[in-house]
Amino acid sequence: MTAQGPGQANQTMSDRTGGTSVAPEKRETGPPSATPLYRRLARKEARVREDQYVALSQLVRVLARRRTDRSGARLTENTLIRVAIDLLLSRANRLTGNNERELRASVLDTPAQSEVFRHQGNQ
């Protein structure tokens, strides 16, 4: 598995861990009703900007208060991140660009949405 981060272009997970292989986290595969959702999902860590984290946390609280049916799983930041990934993947054919700003602009519906991020000083 190849992972790229700052100063780590084209390094494998074993390269970055001093030659020891890092196996993906084992997920439980029992019946869906018996295994909690978080145990059935793959773990992936991502770095987000502080403004993204604050806005995401606020949005989760707003959506949780608006819920009319509280019998299902609770809403979390991870819930919204999974929804955002699904949205991005559904627009994969629109993705073009050489950096985060260009990629973002290529998948957002309106230029105004992209301008919000540009004014926050995000590339």
Is the model's pTM score more than 0.75? no
Helices (H), the chain: 13-16, 37-40, 50-66, 77-90, 100-107, 111-119
State residue 109's pLDDT score: 82
What's the confidence (pLDDT) of residue 26?
56
How far apart CA 54 and CA 48 sit, in angstroms, is 10
Q: What is the per-residue pLDDT across 39-73, written as a single tens digit (0 to 9) for each?
A: 899 999 999 999 999 999 999 999 999 999 988 88
CA gap 98, 109 in Å, rounded: 19
19 torsion bin: left (phi>0), alpha (psi -120 to 50), beta (else): left
Cβ neighbours of residue 57 closer than 8 Å, sequence gap 6 or more = 77
